[in-house]
Amino acid sequence: MSVMNSDTRPDVDPAPAGAPDGRGAPGRLSAESLSLGYGERTVVDELSLVIPDGAITVIVGANACGKSTLLRGLARLLKPTAGRAVLDGRAIHQMPTKEVARILGLLPQTAVAPEGVTVVDLVARGRHPHTGLWRRWSDEDDRAVAEALRLTGTLDLAQRNVDELSGGQRQRVWVAMALAQQTDLLLLDEPTTFLDLAHQVELLDVLADLNANRGTTIVMVLHELNLAARYADHLVAMKDGRLVAQGPPGEVVTEELVRDVFGLEARVIPDPVSGTPLVLPLGRRARAAHPQED
């Protein structure tokens, strides 16, 4: 694990170790002294990070710490104020849009569907980077769309209008569109938003299978720390726009880190199902009932 005091800022953050199973060699996507912001406000401050190839990286942190902004910078949606995001050795903001889209897929936090579009038509838009003047729609595209619908459990919704769906159904459709793109790297900003617990686990299982079976490099922002610890090969913790810790979840998720990053008193124990860290928050009532544990 790499850990930094949040009050200090090295010029370059240490590169992450590989994933625990050895799949995650540092590679294609990285941030180099990357600063991002909105107007005069800096949100991500000189952050350097290498995303391990072929692994699942999960970014965690308190609200407004810069998680989603970092993902937008890595995905070419937000221009850096300093530093750069790098894809395959090139500054991503200098690469053609369609070239990036054939390599890197993105599910943003707030996606808006065109009015009246059906589920199958929206998912089919994920194939746009693979079509062009000399390549028309093909059977391969049909198969990619059908597979994405199947994986996300949305086949039965294919002919319905997206604006008729519930929030959870709509979120699964957006994930299907990202899967239909069939990119080597997939970035997802809070993909479990609007999903009940069963569908959260189902969706994360789909992404884990995609990673295991296709070797897709996945980077996602999650709010639920216990699910992040269970599904991540590589965990990145942020605070105030800076990198605080990174590495395998078993090394990153500690009671001290939860206190520092989330301002939360908690106990961390092994998850009896997965063996990964399980965070048990101590609310005021629990602390009052067990003062000796503070």
Q: What is the pLDDT of residues 246-290, one digit of tens each?
A: 999 999 999 999 999 999 999 999 999 999 999 999 877 666 666
Helical (H) or strand (E) element with 269: strand 266-270
Q: Position 154: which residue type?
A: T
Give the strands of the sheet with 185-189, arranged side by side. 2-3, 242-247, 234-239, 56-61, 217-221, 185-189, 104-107
Dihedral of CA atoms 102, 106, 107, 113 in degrees, nearest 10, equals -50
Residue 193: exposed, middle, or buried by beta-carbon count in 10 A (0-12, 13-18, 19+)? middle
* Residue 8 predicted with pLDDT over 50: no
The CATH number for 195's domain is 3.40.50.300
State residue 292's pLDDT score. 58
Instruction: Please indicate, yes or no, whether the overall pTM of this predicted structure exceeds 0.75.
Output: yes
CB 219 within 8 A of CB 38: no
Residue of 130, 122, 124, 157 whose CA lies nearest to 143: 124
- How far is residue 123's CA from residue 145's CA, in Å, rounded to a whole number? 6
Domain count, the chain: 1
Q: Domain range for residue 119?
A: 2-293
State residue 261's pLDDT score. 96
State residue 25's pLDDT score. 58
Q: What value does the mean pLDDT take over residues 23-29?
A: 69
CB 255 within 8 A of CB 279: no
Q: Residue 49 forms beta bridges with which residues?
A: 31
* Residue 224 predicted with pLDDT over 90: yes
State residue 135's pLDDT score. 64
Tokens 């809070």 map to which residue?
Answer: 190
* Residue 203 predicted with pLDDT over 60: yes
Q: Position 247: which residue type?
A: G
Q: What value does the mean pLDDT take over residues 80-102?
A: 92
